[in-house]
Chain A
Amino acid sequence: MLTWEFPPRIVGGIARHCFGLTRALAKAGHEVSVVTLEFPGALEYEEMDGVKLFRVPIALGHPNFLTWVLLFNHFIEKQVAELCREEKPDIIHAHDWVVSPSAISLKLSLNVPLVFTIHSTEMGRAQGLRNPDSFTINGFEWWATYEACKVIVTTEAMKREVGGHFELSTKKMATIPNAIDQKKFDIVIDRKSIKQRYATPHEKIVLFVGRLTPQKGVEYLIHAVPQILRHHPEAKFVIVGEGWLRSNLEQLARNSGHSEKIFFTGFLSERDLLEIMSSADVLVLPSIYEPFGIVALEGLAAGIPVVASRIDGLAEVINHNKNGILVYPRNPESIAWGVNQILSDSNYARLLCTNGQKKLRKTYNWDAVAEKTERVYEDAVKL
C-alpha cells in the first residue's frame, strides 16, 4: 500500500483510513506492507499489528511542491524495488494523487494490478482549478484513475463526482465507506475536568475538529457565533486543528467581538482529541466540500450530536433529524439554527446520539471495509 500519510504523519482522513484498513487486512490473513514518507521521531521500519511499515527517507528536496512530490515518489519506487527483490506484490493499492507517479510506474514495471483510492479531488478541495499547480494535480488524479484497474471511492457522492469529472465508467469504481475503530472511544474520562481545560464549568462546548482550510468552512461557524450566543450565552466554541488558514480565522474571531468565546487549540494528540470529543456538547462540521467526513463518524462514536453541512458526502453519513442535523452550507444562520436546536433540547440531542451509534455499529467498521476491499482486489487480479 502506498500513502504519503500514515500515523504519526496524520493530517486528514487518509492516515486514519490507511491505518484502519491495513490492520483489518492483516487481521484477515493478508500480508500487508505500507510504504510511506519519513516523519521526525518515527522509525524507518516497524511492524504494527502484522503490518510491515516502511517510512522512506527523502534524500532530495526542492522548494517547489510538485517537484518535491516527484522526488519523493522516486524514493518510494526505490523502496518498493528493494522489497520486490524478495517477492513481488499481488496488488499495489495507492491512496490519492501524491503517490500516483510511483504507483503507476510500479504497476507498469512490475506488471501488477493497481487499485487507486481517491479520497477527494483537487477540483473539490480547491473549489476549482485556479492555477497551474491545480491543473497538474488534477492531471495526476485523472492519470491515476485511468491507469488503475479499479478505483475506490468512499461515498456514492464521490462516485458521481469522480465518474463525471474524469469520465470514468461506474463499472471501474467501487464505493467502500470509511470506518473508525469504535473501541478507542470506550474510554473512562472525567468530563468535568476535561471541559475545564477549554471552558468554564457552566459553559457548553460547541466543537469543530478538522484542518483549518477553506474547504472546512470554519469561517461560517465563526460568523454563526453571535446568533448562537444570543440564545445560548453559555456556549463556548472550541476549534481543534491546524492549517494554513488559522491566522485568518483567529483574526475573524477577534473581529467577531467574541474572541473570549472562541478557543483555538491547534493540533491535539490522539488522547486529547478523544477526550474533548467525548466531553463536548455538540460537534459542528460546516464544510463546503467533504467527500466523506470521517470526523462525523467520530462524533457519532463519541456520542455527541452532530450538526453538519448538507453536502454530498456528509449527507450520506448524517440523516437529518435521525442521527444528526443537516444545515445549509455557507450559511451561518442555518448553522446557528442547528446548534441552537441541540443546545435547547437535551432529550432530542440524546435521541440523535442513540440513533447515530446504531448506524455506526451497523455500517462503519473496519472488518466490513476490509472485506469489501478484498473483493475489489479479487476483481482487480482477474482483470
Chain B
Amino acid sequence: MNTDFPKRYSSFSLSDDFQLLCMLSNIGVITPAKSLTIEELSERTRLEISVIQKLLSKLVQEGYVEVSTIEFTEKYYLTLNGIRKVLSTYS
C-alpha cells in the first residue's frame, strides 16, 4: 500500500492530513449519508488503516471531519469547513 503523497508546490508542501482530506472529498464523503468506515476508506484510498486513523483523528480535532456513529459503527465525512478547505487548493 502507498503511504506517500504527491507534492503540489515546491516551496510549500501539502500536509498528509490535508491530502487525505482531499481524497475524502474526491471520493464523495461529504454528507452523513455518504460517510464511510475506516476500513472502507482504506480500501478506496489504498492507504494503511493505521495511517488513516492517525490522520483522521487530527482532522476530526480540527473540525474538518465529523464522525457519525451508526449502529455502533463509526463513519467519517467532511464538514462544510473541510469541503471549503479542500476547494481552496484548486480554485
Contact = CB atoms under 8 A, between A and B. Distances in A.
A5 interface: yes
Given A14-B91, A58-B28, A244-B89, A40 B12 contact: no
Interface string B23-67: 100111111000000000000111000000000000000000000
A14 B8 CA distance: 22
Contacts of A267: 80-81, 84
Interface string A243-283: 11111100000000000000000110000000000000000
Interface residues of A, number: 41
A183 interface: no
Interface of A: 5, 9-12, 14, 39-41, 58, 60-65, 67-68, 98, 126-128, 130-131, 133-134, 137, 211-214, 241-248, 266-267
Nearest to B86: A244
Q: Which 7 A-B pairs have the closest CB atoms?
A: A61-B28, A61-B27, A243-B88, A68-B26, A63-B23, A11-B87, A11-B91
Given A11-B91, A244-B86, 14 more contacts: A40-B30, A41-B80, A63-B44, A65-B90, A130-B8, A133-B8, A211-B88, A213-B88, A242-B85, A243-B88, A244-B14, A244-B18, A244-B88, A246-B85
A361 to B, nearest CB: 29
A362 to B, nearest CB: 29
A41 B7 CA distance: 32
Nearest to A245: B12
Residue picked from A126, A128, A134, most chain B C-beta under 10 Å: A126
Nearest to A216: B88
A247 B10 CA distance: 17
A242 B27 contact: no
B11 interface: yes
Interface in B59-82: 80-81
B26 A61 contact: yes
Nearest to B21: A244
B1 to A, nearest CB: 13
Nearest to A137: B90
Nearest to A63: B23
Given A98-B90, A212-B88, A248-B12, A63 B26 contact: yes
Residue picked from B22, B27, B88, most chain A C-beta under 10 Å: B88
A246 B89 CA distance: 12
Contacts of A246: 85
B9 to A, nearest CB: 6
A133 B8 CA distance: 8
A323 B88 CA distance: 29
B28 A242 contact: no
Given A126-B8, A134-B8, A5 B85 contact: no
Given A62-B27, A68-B26, A131 B8 contact: yes
A135 B10 CA distance: 15
Nearest to A130: B10
Contacts of A248: 12
Contacts of B84: 10-11, 242, 267
Nearest to B11: A214
B84 to A, nearest CB: 5
Contacts of A131: 6-8
B10 to A, nearest CB: 6
Contacts of A214: 9, 11-12
A62 B26 contact: yes
Contacts of A68: 26-27
Contacts of A130: 8-10
B37 to A, nearest CB: 16
Contact of B83 (A40, A60, A266): A40
Contacts of A60: 28
Given A64-B26, A126-B8, A242 B81 contact: yes
Contacts of A62: 26-27
B23 A126 contact: no
B6 A211 contact: no
Contacts of B85: 242-244, 246
Contacts of B44: 63
